[in-house]
Chains A and B, each alone.
Chain A
Amino acid sequence: MARKKKEKKKLLERPGIRYLIVLGSIIIVSTVLIWGVNALTEPVRERNAEVVVADGREEVLPAATNFERRRLPNINYRGEGMTIDSIYQGSDMHGELVGYAITLTSHEGHAGDIQMIVGITYRSNMPPIVNRVIILAMSETQGLGSRAADDEFLDQFIDKTEIHAVINIGEPAGDEILAISGATVTSNAVANAVSFALDTTREVIRTDMMTDQQAQDILEEITEITEEEIRELTENGYNGYGYYQYYGYGTGGEY
């Protein structure tokens, strides 16, 4: 018994154990402190981020004076390697729809996520057009991928209705984007995201037309789709491909 006690004492006296306790307690206290400060300031940061996004919306769609958030259950908020954070519909002071501001995050960046806002102008019976793209947040390599936030790269997206390819060399054609040299991954991530924002806008517009009874009747006539089939499609989760085929919008070739 006495021997056991002696051993126990020895254990605590061993320098290695003491180092472990001292360093361990410093690290535990530090972690708790950092966690506390982080948790306390989190709401402020969230509010700041909202303000930044709101300012960004006005920047990418200056024609709009009023923004209204759209939450559409049938829209696919998750694309391949990216997520849509929010869809806002912008209207001018007469209440006329002028376009959409789509905030989305690409997970395909070279060094983490890239968050951006894509402003898309839309007039009825015209294809949606990219008005402006701005990068909100990214952690790409300084001097290479970070140049994705420069106007020189982002201005290429202006007035595009579609983005077919990102090229590395040469003169970009109508629906092509010239990649930033040395940062193909970043360029692709941004271009894919803008392309996805355009797709999403088209889906939103289609959805809005769909709820319009008249449009729906005409479309049903063309495609002879039964109401049950529509319900089935909607209930089973929106599938963009299906709608294009049924409604005869687009050609399907673009996918």
Chain B
Amino acid sequence: MTYIRTLLNGIFEENPVFVLVLGLAPALFVSTSVVNAVGLGVATLIVLICSNVVISLLRKFIPNKIRLLSQVAIIACFVTIVQILLNTYFPDLARDLGIFVPLIVVNGIIVYEAAIFATEHSPLESFIKGAAIGLGFLAALIVMAFFRELLGNGTILGFAVFGERFDPASIMIMPPGAFLTLGIGLAIFAAVKSRGKENE
């Protein structure tokens, strides 16, 4: 039960983008289309789970002084593997995501989880926490991309949703649209949170 609670927590109460406000650069950049959002979200999720588990397994062997260095090395290893797999099996997606795949190494969410959580918890707990935060990131990216692609391009997953007479608001695809969407998302989350507190 607590595991399901952790998972939901990662998606809603501790959503990395809308609540922790971490990993914003990739979130702003790749949320132009749902396909890209899913691509980077899943890549980040995989790296997050793998690095969390391995760092948790090795937590007793790694001396404190070289902890961060070792964690970055481990994360970089998984990112490189994910990048090779993306280049091999999804070359078009890899090209669209560009520099943001290698940049997962310095994604605040992953470094934060590795440094704060995985060094002090068991591999199973770290796995669940990694999955929770990763799914939260994925969900945030998909939600942002859904609205940006729908309003800015009139499509979802590349399929035209509105008729031909729909004139898309291309500002939603451009950088200002990313900040608008993020701002609205942050506002909604903050509003829900404060409403919850008032009720208590």
Contact = CB atoms under 8 A, between A and B. Distances in A.
A22 B58 CA distance: 10
In terms of DSSP, what is the predominant structure of the interface of chain A?
Answer: helix
A120 B73 CA distance: 49
B87 interface: yes
B66 A22 contact: yes
Interface in B58-74: 58, 61-63, 65-66, 69-70, 73-74
A22 B62 contact: yes
A19 to B, nearest CB: 5
Contact of A30 (B61, B77, B89): B77
Interface string A4-19: 0000000000010011
B88 A41 contact: yes
Contact of B85 (A15, A26, A27, A41): A41
A27 B76 CA distance: 10
For chain A, the bracket of interface size reads 10 to 19
A222 B76 CA distance: 67
Contacts, number: 46
B52 to A, nearest CB: 15
Given A26-B70, A26-B73, A27-B73, A41 B84 contact: yes
Contacts of B61: 22
Contacts of A37: 81, 84-85
B80 interface: yes
Contact of B70 (A23, A33, A44, A45): A23
Interface in A1-53: 15, 18-19, 22-23, 26-27, 29-30, 33-34, 37-38, 41, 44-45, 48
Nearest to A42: B88
A151 to B, nearest CB: 18
Given A45-B87, A48-B88, A33 B63 contact: no
Contacts of B69: 23
10 contacts: A18-B63, A22-B61, A22-B70, A26-B74, A30-B77, A33-B81, A34-B80, A41-B84, A45-B87, A48-B88
Given A30-B73, A30-B74, A45-B87, A19 B81 contact: no
Contact of B84 (A30, A34, A48): A34
B91 interface: yes
B69 to A, nearest CB: 6
A65 to B, nearest CB: 26
Nearest to A48: B91
Closest 8 CB pairs of A and B: A30-B77, A41-B88, A19-B66, A37-B81, A44-B88, A34-B80, A26-B73, A45-B88
Nearest to B61: A22
